[in-house]
Amino acid sequence: MKRKTIKDIAKESGFSLSTVSLVLNNHPRISQATRERVMAVVKKYNFFPNSAARGLASKSSRTISVVVPNLTRVFSDIYLGEIISGIYERAASQGYKILLDIATAQFIKSQEYTKLLASRRADGMLFIASDIHAEYLTAFENSPYKFLLVNHLFPGKKLNYVSVDYVASARLAAEHLLGLGHRKIGLIAGTNTYAGLQFRDEFIRVCKSWPAGTGQVASVDGGEEWSQRGGYAAAAKLLAMEPNLTAIMAANDRMAIGAMRWLVDNKREVPEDVSVMGVDDIQLAAFVNPGLSTIRHDLHQVGIESCNRILQLIKGEITECSDLLPTSLVVRGSTSRVAGK
């Protein structure tokens, strides 16, 4: 049997081509009754609209490019996985596809991302590659391209972003550890991103200005990948620098879990000898022993909100975006009060 076209669907359902197109694109202005009549015919003939044809007709690809650091991290990094799953969930619900692009040096430096958008292969772009320098994104300042940074920002640049509030996160973490009596704290920082620098600087500021006694902070870099391996190595450096540390604060949960492993391997009890705290509240944080105290960042929601905003930019509903999402403290067994405090 000859494959049905959208014209056939329109003819049998009794609606115009434009109405059928709106139904197929989940347009909110279509009534439920109209939607049901059209979809009944669609199901009858097992009709699947050609997305490329729809894109040409509407001058839209209904595709969002998601730029990630590298494919290995996409499939192994819980942080990236949570964000991308949120993006995909929201995009799919609105009839959009996502296209993964890898942030190679050539892709960034040659500004290939602008060519991708200019060719209409994608209607908008979400940038999760957090180690990109601001100068490589200048093409997006005051440009017509729809672009948004995900969980990253560059102050002073006119670049749209949705991010958790890393300054508030650092404040919550510092106040928790200081409130437990910790005054000698090791910080495993992520200094290859602006968000990481924000967290480090605010954490140190709060510790130095604590009214009940200044907190001393020894800081080391956890490495570019913010990994368990980096946290393990950083913990060794910290305890060599300051053997009397009573707490370790890591800029993400993976580095915190790596630090916990080093402490266990070196006969240090958590939290009796050294309290450990992380950031993000990844699923694994609740299942390590002891459970990891952390600052909750709802990364899935970061993905959803980022997709919401890029869709609004694409549709012209907003012209700019600078959203900071709230964070919260999660206390588990890896932190405790300093003995005698």
pLDDT at 142: 63
Q: Is residue 339 part of a domain?
A: no
Q: Is residue 120 part of a domain?
A: yes
pLDDT reading at 233 higher than 60: yes
Q: Is residue 113 part of a domain?
A: yes
pLDDT reading at 320 higher than 50: yes
pLDDT reading at 109 higher than 70: no
Return the CA Rg of the chain: 24
Q: Do 23 and 43 meet the contact criterion of CB atoms below 8 Å apart?
A: no
pLDDT tens-digit series, residues 127-157: 886 656 666 666 666 667 788 999 988 877 7
pLDDT at 238: 97
How many angstroms separate the CA atoms of 22 and 29, rounded?
Answer: 8
154 and 232 housed in the same domain: no
- Residue that is written with structure tokens 């003995």 in the block: 339
232 and 125 housed in the same domain: no
* Chain-centre distance for alpha carbon 217: 28
pLDDT at 72: 66
120 and 239 housed in the same domain: no
pLDDT reading at 50 higher than 60: no
Q: Is residue 330 part of a domain?
A: no
Burial 4-35 (b: 16+ CB within 10 A, else e): bebeebbebbebeeebbbbbbbeeeebeeebb
The CATH number that applies at residue 218 is 3.40.50.2300
pLDDT reading at 56 higher than 50: no
Query: What is the token pair recorded at 24?
Result: 């197929």
72 and 138 housed in the same domain: yes
pTM attached to this predicted model? 0.77
Most confident segment among 9-13, 77-81, 251-255: 251-255
pLDDT reading at 21 higher than 90: no
Could you tell me which residues come within 8 angstroms of residue 224 by beta carbon, excluding any fewer than 6 positions away? Answer: 131, 192
- Split into its structural domains, the chain has a count of 3
Domain range for 189 is 166-297
* Chain-centre distance for alpha carbon 309: 13
In this prediction, residue 53 has a pLDDT band, given cuts at 50, 70 and 90, of very low
What's the rounded mean pLDDT across residues 188-211?
89
289 and 182 housed in the same domain: yes
307 and 229 housed in the same domain: no
Q: Is residue 216 part of a domain?
A: yes
The CATH number that applies at residue 19 is 1.10.260.40
Q: Give the least confident one: 58-72, 184-198, 223-237, 283-297.
A: 58-72
Q: Is residue 84 part of a domain?
A: yes
Query: What is the token pair recorded at 28?
Result: 């909110």
Q: Is residue 337 part of a domain?
A: no
What's the rounded mean pLDDT across residues 73-99?
85
What's the rounded mean pLDDT across residues 72-99?
85
238 and 311 housed in the same domain: no
112 and 260 housed in the same domain: no
87 and 181 housed in the same domain: no
172 and 293 housed in the same domain: yes
pLDDT reading at 224 higher than 80: no
